[in-house]
Amino acid sequence: MIKGEYDYLKALAEINECAEHGTPLLVATHPTEACYVLRCGENHYPDTIRHIPSLTEEYKQGTLPSGPVADNIIKGSKRRAMST
C-alpha cells in the first residue's frame, strides 16, 4: 500500500497505473487507517505502480503509430532545434 500526502499521491496517480491490473489510480482514504493511499480501479491497494509513458516517450521508444501526433512531435523537435 502506497501512503502519503494528498497532493503527492494525486501527482503520482496522474502519470502511473496499477502494475498488477493496468488500471488508473485514484487517491482514497484508507478505511481503517487515517491516511491517504493510492487505490486502483479494481478496488485494490497496490504496492507497485507502473509509469504511463507520454506521447513523446512513446515516439522515442518507437511504439507510437505514425499519424498526426507523431508529425506534431517531429515538427516540435525541429522547431526547438532551430531556435538553439
pLDDT at 84 over 80: no
Whether residues 57 and 32 share a domain: the answer is no
Whether residues 61 and 72 share a domain: the answer is yes
pLDDT of residue 58: 85
Whether residues 47 and 11 share a domain: the answer is yes
Whether residues 46 and 17 share a domain: the answer is yes
- pTM of the prediction? 0.70
Residues spanned by the domain of 36: 3-51
Whether residues 38 and 62 share a domain: the answer is no
pLDDT of residue 46: 93
CA angle 49, 50, 56 (to 5 degrees): 145
- What's the structural domain count of the chain? 2
Residue 17: helix, strand or coil by DSSP? strand
Distance (Å, whole) CA 36 – CA 73: 37
Whether residues 8 and 47 share a domain: the answer is yes
pLDDT digits (tens, 9 = 90+) for 18-73: 999 989 999 999 989 889 999 998 888 999 999 998 888 888 888 877 888 888 88
Whether residues 40 and 62 share a domain: the answer is no
